[in-house]
Chains A and B, each alone.
Chain A
Amino acid sequence: MSTFLQLIVQGIALGSIYALIALGFTVVLLAGVVNFAQGSFMLLGAYVVSWLAVDMQVPFLLAVAGGILVTVLLGVAFEQLFLRRMAARPVFTLIMITLGLDTILRVITSAIWGYDPRRNGDPFTLSTGFNVGEVHLNWGDITIVIVTFILLGLFFAFFKYTKYGVAMRAAALDREAAAAVGISLSQVYILTWTVAGVLATIGGVFLASVPRSLDTTLGFTALRAFPAVILGGLGSPVGAVVGGVIMGVVEVLVAGYNQQYFPWLGSGFNQVSTYVVLIIVLLVRPYGLFGKKEVERV
């Protein structure tokens, strides 16, 4: 039982990171772009933070701010230079373009910093923390969960109550109608990529924090978080967060019990378990947990 609770705690910590990644993806999706470069944004953000904090001896929080600045500028520039020209194109064409960006960022990152694992420069350590009953809570995981919680709170407050949040939702619902009532789509997209950049860097830093380390495979983890996006229902920010937490817990539980109860599924099954869960859930609810069913008019 204590193992189970311990795994749940770890799962929620990992799930918080997935929630950040999934939310970043969903926000961009609301602007009509399937962003396969999200993983590389995370990778780049985390490397910039690591470079500032470890090599340049910048205080960690400042380093994070620096990483966020880089990913935000890059995301906005990408939107302005490429995506803006592609607004009415089929989604698959956009997918190819974000994939191209993904490749370029990944190659450049590994060309600058090499392939060896790096330290993240974060102040967390594994050993510190405290016990509740038999469950060990370490400060790193607690920080991740709390920061995620605050970020999500800020995002949803912004999304729901501010003028710009309403503009983002309106543009997601119907781009042309939003433009017709005077919403600046340009501002909405800049805002969208800003949010995505912030979430990518913070998600990347968390993913690279103790006990994990930072290397060039970090970007692929974003693909493991994609089922979270769908599980909640495409285009639903709440769904992305709930899906993220569920998928984190599932992955850690499967990793914990894989060898003990179902070794025949092969080691490393936890890495694909989220997709198995996704398919099972979608078979019951084809539009995810919070997705809207499409009404087709003839």
Chain B
Amino acid sequence: MSSETKKLSVEEIAATPAGIIAPKPASRSIFNPAARTGNPAVTWTIRVVAAIVLIAYPFLLGSDKNRIWLLIGTQGAILAIGALGLTVLTGYTGLASLGHAFFLGVGAYAAAYFGGNLGWSVLLWLPLSGIVAGLIGWFIGWLTLRFRGLYLTFVTIGLAFIGGHVFLNLKDLSGGSSGRAFPRPTFGDIDWNASSSVIGPLTLSRDQKFYFLVVPILLLIVLFTSNVTRTRMGRAFQAVRDREVAAELMGINVARTKIIAFVYSATLGGICGALFASYLRRVQPDFWGLDLSFQFIAMIIIGGIVSVGGPILGALLITALPQLIDLFADKIPFVQQGAGAGITKGDLSEIINALFLALFLVVEPNGLVGIYRRIRFGSGKPKLSK
């Protein structure tokens, strides 16, 4: 029996990251097909087609009737930034965190302070939201260095709770339980609040403007992250995940590596939170709670936990599912439209969402990337030597 399918005992699960995270080896990025095909023509064809699709998307699906698709694209791209951060921490470094939403909250409130209270430009508040979240991430990473496996996971649940309490009580910053408005990005004389504005030859709606702000940021982060995972530090992340003692013997500074992973993940979380809050405009403090953290875990697991492409696909799917279910829920006969007892549209959406995710994981535990790899490389199961 291969070691991959060995069942873990409770002691191992409790204390080792490898028991929590997929024991699969890390793989190459799906964003760099050249690494496998070695054919530059194919690579560039893929890149050009991808660029055209990305640019054309908001224009083809940006009308009011199709607004839902643009919303999925924009919101999915925002969440993908945070999901990438969590992948580095949980997928690559093996530190399973359920406190990711806390870092989103930190980023959002940093943006609210610098952009809203002080009125600074987006060029300042967006990086600052990442930096502030990164600093908090550094502290949390340092504080939780000794906790391993599920112990860390539960402490990070605490982070979500304690963070939620702090946000709720910082009434000047968060607006207390009624929430506050978050700053919109402003570039020169482009008014982000206007329902449409003319930029050069184009007239862009509010959602389209957001799309063109978010997608380039996401692409930069994807490029950076997929490169980082192939550097010395990226391999150190994976060595720490797979076996801490062995990593240490190879000369990797385990504590430093773990803290860097935390800072990286928190920074991306902070940027994601700032953009998300800005996109949603008005957010209540309890939004940055455990439910959002669970959503991020769902994204990286559905997408495929140790990959750069996976979390992006996961983020899009997790954003799209409830929207699409809502779209079609009207056509299902027994759904009750009003509030009160009985299955409502929202209830049904939640049930289908949960059922789909659970069944998906039963059938394909390696996520969307697992499906991709199976198509691309065959079953991927290690061959038994007789």
Q: Interface residues, chain A, CB within 8 Å of chain B? A: 29-30, 32, 34, 82, 85-93, 95-97, 99-101, 103-104, 107-108, 110-114, 172-176, 223, 226-227, 229-230, 234-235, 265-266, 268-269, 271-272, 275-276, 278-279, 282-283, 286-288, 291-292, 294, 296, 298
Q: Which of A82, A287, A288, A292 contacts B362 (CB 8 A)?
A: A82
B11 pairs with A266, CB closer than 8 A: no
A111 pairs with B347, CB closer than 8 A: yes
Cα separation A107 to B5 with both chains bound (whole Å): 34
**Residue in chain A with minimal CB distance to B21:** A90
Cα separation A276 to B169 with both chains bound (whole Å): 16
**Residue in chain A with minimal CB distance to B150:** A234
* A3 CB to nearest chain B CB (Å): 24
User: Per-residue 0/1 for B1-36: is the Cβ within 8 Å of any A Cβ (1 yes, 0 no)?
Assistant: 000011111111111100111110000000000000
B7 pairs with A95, CB closer than 8 A: no
CB within 8 Å for A223 and B290 given contacts A91-B150, A107-B351: yes
B365 pairs with A93, CB closer than 8 A: yes
A88 pairs with B294, CB closer than 8 A: no
Which chain A residues border B340 with CB–CB below 8 Å?
A: 114
B244 pairs with A294, CB closer than 8 A: no
Q: Which of B14, B244, B341, B358 contacts A234 (CB 8 A)?
A: B14
Q: Which of B10, B343, B354 contacts A103 (CB 8 A)?
A: B354
Q: Interface residues, chain B, CB within 8 Å of chain A? A: 5-16, 19-23, 90, 96, 143, 146-148, 150-151, 154-155, 157-158, 161-162, 164-166, 168-169, 243-246, 249, 290, 294, 297-298, 301, 305, 340-344, 347, 350-351, 353-355, 357-358, 361-362, 365
List the 7 shortest-distance A-B pairs measured between CB atoms, nearest first: A275-B158, A266-B169, A100-B358, A294-B15, A100-B354, A234-B14, A103-B354
* A218 CB to nearest chain B CB (Å): 16
Cα separation A200 to B310 with both chains bound (whole Å): 36
CB within 8 Å for A176 and B7 given contacts A34-B150, A271-B165, A286-B151: yes
CB within 8 Å for A88 and B6 given contacts A95-B297, A111-B343, A298-B245: yes
Q: Which of B23, B246, B298 contacts A90 (CB 8 A)?
A: B23
